[in-house]
DNA sequence: GATTCTAATTAAACTAGTTTAATAAATATT
DNA sequence: AATATTTATTAAACTAGTTTAATTAGAATC
């Protein structure tokens, strides 16, 4: 087990206890890969074979429909991610996973991930708990979208993930917030006047 | 194992194979309960001890903030649900789970659910996969909220869950869609003119 | 350093929602 | 059946966003 996977190991153990032998079994399948800004992990039409852990960097998950880029999520250090629906259903992706900043990513194939879950009850539990956490995060995001104004959500993003604004152009953040670039610019102007 | 749990058993098996003995072990902890319209499974201030499966009926998951009712979800037949965040974190709920239609619910305590996951790798996998499905559903809901107009989302709800409109007053559906009752009424009027 | 290209802001006209209040239609109660 | 209560609609004024287009600012390239 290469030492570079220490942070992934820590992340897993933050969810549930895992024996050293199970951990070693699981981590052996992960490959460390580096990507340059502008590269794609996923493009429309592809089948999703892999599951990812972002060690360092940033990837943007988006679609383009009728020429409009729609950002669904930015994944940064410490996040697990993939294009989950096509990954599960083994259908073609309709999305992009584009590296937005030079990144180090740990990659495990779906086949290997299933082996890991088969082999270790503890790691299956980790899978359940990490999915549970992702569920809760999404649920809370829905509530923010429904219950807060766009201005409030902009301010909250600025507070909770300030580094995004260094990493990613503003029009992508606007899309993530469900706004046009013009709309976000107006909000910023309104706020700067106070 | 009482025969009344057949549909829960089927639901679980729709996710992953489970041996009869594991299934029997798991199902023994579920209690069948009936509730009348207007009863509450959860109210603000309570700790969440239980996880639920809706056999028949409807429950509305909402908060009241500054006098405004905000509907997060309607759970109907075949859904697993609870107020997950306080359930996990063992903090007080801030929400209501109100029975909106006479219902039959299967209930398992958190303690028993943990016993089940400890005892059976297969049922832990079921837990992972059901959570994964819930995650995907929420993710797709976020995308609908972000990418569709309110009118489109109203039409889609009408198409996908028509029975909701029989079960639940319109102002709660408006809230679920992130609209005021006035706003939803306007959309309906606009559509009826076509 | 000048040029080119991309991103962000601004302006103007527009739109789909909001709020508040009044009215109408259903539903529940006596 | 009559009354009270709750729910849904309508109207009017307002607002936070949109779209389109022009302008400015910032980055990258030659």
**Do A98 and A56 share a domain, yes or no?**
yes
Q: Examine the domain organization and report whether A190 and A126 are in the same domain.
A: no
In a domain, B160, yes or no: no
Question: Do the beta carbons of residue B61 and residue B74 sit within 8 Å?
Answer: yes
Residue B4 and residue B56 in contact, taking contact as beta carbons nearer than 8 Å: no
Smallest Cβ–Cβ distance between A121 and the set B70, B124, B141 belongs to: B124
Pairing between strand A96-109 and B40-42? unpaired
Q: Which of B180, B160, B132 is nearest to B74 (CA)?
A: B160
DSSP state of B71: E
The confidence score (pLDDT) of residue A54 equals 97
Q: At CA A67, angle to CA A90 and CA A86, rounded to 5?
A: 10
pLDDT at A194 over 70: no
Q: What is the DSSP letter of B45?
A: T
Closest-CA residue of A relative to B135 is A135
Residue A193 pLDDT level (bands cut at 50, 70, 90): confident
Tell me how far the alpha carbon of residue A108 is from its chain's centroid: 15
**Residue B61 resides in a domain:** yes
Tens place of pLDDT per residue across chain B (194 aa): 455 799 999 999 999 999 999 999 999 999 999 999 999 999 999 999 999 999 999 999 999 988 899 999 999 999 999 999 999 999 999 999 999 999 999 999 999 999 999 999 999 999 999 999 999 999 999 999 999 999 999 999 999 999 999 999 999 999 999 999 999 999 999 998 76
- Domain range enclosing A75: 3-147
Predicted confidence at residue A66, as pLDDT, reads 84
- Closest chain B CA to residue A124: B125
B35 lies in some domain:
yes
Q: Which of B70, B132, B143 sits opposite A131 (nearest CB)?
A: B132
Query: Do A110 and A156 have their domain in common?
Result: no
A192 and A130 within one domain: no
Q: Is residue B98 part of a domain?
A: yes
Domain assignment of residue B112, yes or no: yes
Q: Looking at the structure, do residues A120 and A96 belong to the same domain, yes or no?
A: yes
Name the domain count of chain B: 1
**Residue A3 — very low, low, confident or very high, per pLDDT cuts 50/70/90?**
low
* pLDDT > 90? residue A1: no
- As a rounded value in angstroms, the CA-to-C1' distance for B70 and D3 is 32
Instruction: Give me the CATH number covering residue B28.
Output: 2.60.120.10
DSSP B78-120: T-EE--HHHHHHT-B--SEEEEEEEEEEEEEEHHHHHHHHHH-
Residue at B178 is within a domain: no
Residues A164 and A127 sit within 8 Å (Cβ to Cβ): no
């Amino acid at each position: 087990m290469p030492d570079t996977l220490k942070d992934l190991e820590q992340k897993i153990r933050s969810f549930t206890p895992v024996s050293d032998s199970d951990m070693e079994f699981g981590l052996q399948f992960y490959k460390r890969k580096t990507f340059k800004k502008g590269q794609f992990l996923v493009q429309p039409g592809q089948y999703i074979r892999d599951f990812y852990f972002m060690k360092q960097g940033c990837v943007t998950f988006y679609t383009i429909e009728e020429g409009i880029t729609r950002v669904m999520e930015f994944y940064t250090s410490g996040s697990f991610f993939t294009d989950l629906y096509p990954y599960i259903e083994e259908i073609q992706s309709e999305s992009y996973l584009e590296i937005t900043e030079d990144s180090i990513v740990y990659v495990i194939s779906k086949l290997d991930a299933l082996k890991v879950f088969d082999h270790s009850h503890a790691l299956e539990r980790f899978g359940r708990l990490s999915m549970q956490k992702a569920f809760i995060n999404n649920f809370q995001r829905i509530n923010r979208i429904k219950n807060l104004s766009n201005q409030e959500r902009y301010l909250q993003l600025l507070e909770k993930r300030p580094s995004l604004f260094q990493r990613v152009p503003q029009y992508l953040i606007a899309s993530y917030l469900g706004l046009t670039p013009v709309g976000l610019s107006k909000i910023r102007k309104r706020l700067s006047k106070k």
